[in-house]
A = this chain, B = another copy of it.
Amino acid sequence: MNYKFNSSVASLQPSAIREILKMTSKPGIISFSAGNPSADAFPSSEIADIASDILRSDPIAALQYSITEGYPPLIEYLKEYMKGKNALSEDDSVVVTSGAQQVMALASKALCDSGDTVVCEDPSFIGSLNSFRAHGGRLRGVDMQPDGMNMETLEDILKSDKRVKFIYTIPNFQNPTGITMSYEKRRRIYELACKYDVIILEDNPYGDIRFEGEDIPPIKSLDTEGRVIYAGSFSKVVSPGMRVGFGVANKELMAKMVVCKQVEDVHTNILSQMIIHRYVTEYDFAGHLSRIREIYRHKAGLMMELADKYLCPDITYNKVQGGLFIWATLPDDVDMTDFCLKLVKNSVAVVPGNAFSVEDNAPSQSFRMNYSTESDENITKGMEIIGETFKACRKL
């Protein structure tokens, strides 16, 4: 039969990154294209102990239906966590989600009618952008500066577009650019959200893996009007395969997101919620965080050192203080797509920058490199290959 799809979904394509990941799963390839945490960064044996204990001492609680909002002790932990950031008001509630991705889906489902505008950083995380698109959102991108979104572009959009529902931002170690929004801009974006009566969706999957510099308070800590939806995740600090994230927002807004979650997946896997709760409250989670920050500090440092050696000054990149990614930019005389394809042929995978563009087919000279997945040896080898491939492209 001829299928007739939902109009927002019909044009939606599988994420470009995902397709590249498929292409790069062939053996022997050095993958800088993933967003995976380092395999060294999982507290595997602790999780094994906890899972075993829960399933022997309290199996029914871990296997039976549970409530949509999430495992109550984990919610209590998350409330304390948010209070520790001064980012929980009395009118807020916390909900456990199936990964932070589900916060984006629930926020757009609860708020957007078809054709409503979602303002986002350009470039930004493709998974979120596609979620907004799938829920009928029309994207408008804001160019990035070294301290975050360009606030003038943002205000121009807010001033002229009356259908803006929310502004989407990843303020810490943004994916893909690695940029962190300054405190001044966090205050400004909140002011603008109040002035133009829109919501901010603050996505913070990487905030806890800062390995240099000082933490900057989340936008949610400035929120006195119930205007900020905060999305957090255990994917980068415990395990992504467990699919446990959380959302924090005003009670009224969150109640609607919970109704939406109920019709999506009833509740998040309860065993994983119980495991994470036990791990973060009864084990040395702070020590684990220090350890993974050290891993990422080392790997990011290594990749930047090699970028200085093999890529600069022709290829430029943003120095990073956390997160998982380095964003590099080619000079104008080298074709980016061609360069990325040649890299794959030379057994190194990066993600072409236009995979993160708000407009399809927007030109980009940049590419994203991940430093968390590969061994030091492969990072060294891969960066050398990138340098050589660049030289070869230039000669042609």
Contact = CB atoms under 8 A, between A and B. Distances in A.
A110 B260 CA distance: 16
A245 to B, nearest CB: 9
Contacts of A34: 65
A240 B266 CA distance: 10
A48 B165 CA distance: 45
Nearest to A272: B269
Interface string A268-286: 1111100000000000000
Contact of A14 (B14, B63, B65, B258): B258
Given A13-B259, A14-B259, A259-B12, A241 B63 contact: yes
- Which of A114, A130, A263, A268 is packed against the most chain B CB atoms within 10 Å? A263
Contacts of A335: none
A272 B242 CA distance: 9
Contacts of A109: 6, 9, 134
| Integer count of this chain's copies in the complex | 2
A269 B256 contact: no
A127 B6 contact: no
A47 interface: yes
Contact of A39 (B56, B60, B252, B253): B60
A262 B7 contact: no
A231 to B, nearest CB: 13
Contacts of A114: 114
Given A5-B111, A48-B55, A272-B271, A260 B14 contact: no
A239 B63 contact: yes
Contact of A98 (B36, B62, B259, B265): B265
Q: Interface size class for chain A?
A: 35 or more
Contacts of A35: 65
Nearest to A197: B1
Contacts of A235: 65
B266 A127 contact: yes
Interface of A: 1, 3-7, 9-10, 12-15, 18, 34-37, 39, 42, 44-45, 47-48, 51-52, 55-56, 59-66, 68, 98-99, 101-102, 104-105, 109-114, 127, 130-131, 133-135, 165, 197, 199, 225-227, 235, 239-243, 250, 252-253, 255-256, 258-260, 262-272
